[in-house]
Amino acid sequence: MKKGILVASGLVVAALGTYLITGNFQKEGADKLGTTDIKRLVHDISAGKATAQSASINSSQLMVTGNDTRPMTYNLPDNEFFVSIAPYVDQTHPCATHSLTGCQGEIKNGEFNVTVHDIEGNVIMENAAMKSQPNGFIDLWLPRDKTYRISVNHEGKTAQTEFSTYEKDDTCITTMQLG
């Protein structure tokens, strides 16, 4: 009996992994994805590990059109806000709502040191070593309903800005020119 349950559990885990990684976005799974799964799905699409015709993320939802062209909407965690940042030296693009499949930053797979404080001065991350994804963006999940100051350093050049994580705030920051 226990062996049967373990086998069934293993099959469920394998099916969920296949579902997320292959980009097979079916309606029956949309309401069942938990916070960890949503974050993994966002990461996998950004990193090119999962495919989708299009995927964008606003302050409250991830919208994905899979290979079957059916759009799916996933609610983001109530207590966390997604923001994607593309520091640049020479070129950027205007953006407000991040497209996981369309936005391209200048510095792909670059090494960065990132510091984030909230407006009250609380340290969220201090000089954290981070690598931009193949799309040139650094993705962060931060507590909602706060204002933050971020400093990004790359190869001796620094950029700083302030942003917030309130409902309807932008999820794409492309204005941080390194200098």
Render 48-66 in DSSP notation, one character per residue: TSS--SEEEE-SSEEEEE-
User: What is the pLDDT at residue 100?
Assistant: 96
Global pTM?
0.80
Query: Which percentage of the chain shows pLDDT scores above 90?
Result: 74
Residues 17-29 have pLDDT tens digits of 444 444 444 333 4
